[in-house]
Amino acid sequence: MSERVGTVAHAHAHHFDDAEQQHSASTLGMWLFVVQEILFFGGLFTVYTVYRSAYAEPFAHASHHLDVTLGMINTAVLIASSLTMALAVHAAQVGRRAGQVGYLLLTILLGSVFLVIKTIEYGHKFHEGFFPGPNFRYPGDEAKAAEIFFSLYFAMTGLHALHMVIGIAILAVLVVMALRGRFGASYYTPVEVTGLYWHFVDIVWIFLFPLLYLIGRH
């Protein structure tokens, strides 16, 4: 069996009954990967919980050195990028090629804005001496615990940013595929599973923002 998608005929692999089953298997496989990623970041959130419970006050004070405004802007940018990603999947499902390309490019743009803001933030932290290691400088007598906070800050946001860089690279490939008319109502699996990845990265940030930027602000 083969179906026409845009200008390209699309057949399912021989070990699947039909294209529908193949699509189900692909999304389930992607979810399996995302679940593994949830547990991967879960390990870091566990370390965070252990150290924050041990050093509640120093963590709250160290959190004050992060820029809430930039963090909030980045949260909004990332949620907006999730919307454009969802709309790209929608455009693929209904076979609108211009919409696919437009929304994918918009997602790449918003992802890049997030990374630029993150880079500016990192620059400030480096400049202030908050990067853990031999050159770590911190006012007051809570330097040891604050260094743990900033180790977690850089490890968690750094891994998150790495995921975004990879996501943007995959989105760039999707743009080329969309331009070639590869996606339509009967085949949009790559857009769908990339969407799952992108939204997962958004979810990680949804937890990172309050846990890193917003503790002990009152």
**Footprint on this chain of another protein (rule: CB under 8 A):** 20, 23-24, 27-28, 31-32, 34-36, 38-39, 42-43, 45-46, 49-50, 53-54, 68, 72, 75-76, 79-80, 82-83, 85-87, 90, 93-94, 192, 195-196, 199-200, 202-203, 206-207, 209-211, 214-215, 217-218
Token code pair at residue 178: 């969309």
Classify burial at 37, counting beta carbons within 10 Å of its beta carbon; exposed 0-12, middle 13-18, buried 19 or more.
middle
Q: Tell me the closest approach of the beta carbon of residue 127 to another protein, in angstroms.
A: 25
Residue among 57 and 133 whose Cβ is closer to another protein: 57
Q: Tell me the closest approach of the beta carbon of residue 61 to another protein, in angstroms.
A: 15
Q: Tell me the closest approach of the beta carbon of residue 26 to another protein, in angstroms.
A: 10
**CA gap 84, 132 in Å, rounded:** 36
Q: Which residues of 46-72 are buried (b: 16+ CB within 10 A; e: fewer)?
A: eebeebbeebeebbbbbbebbeeeebe
The answer to whether 18 and 11 are in contact (CB under 8 A) is: no
Q: Tell me the closest approach of the beta carbon of residue 82 to another protein, in angstroms.
A: 6
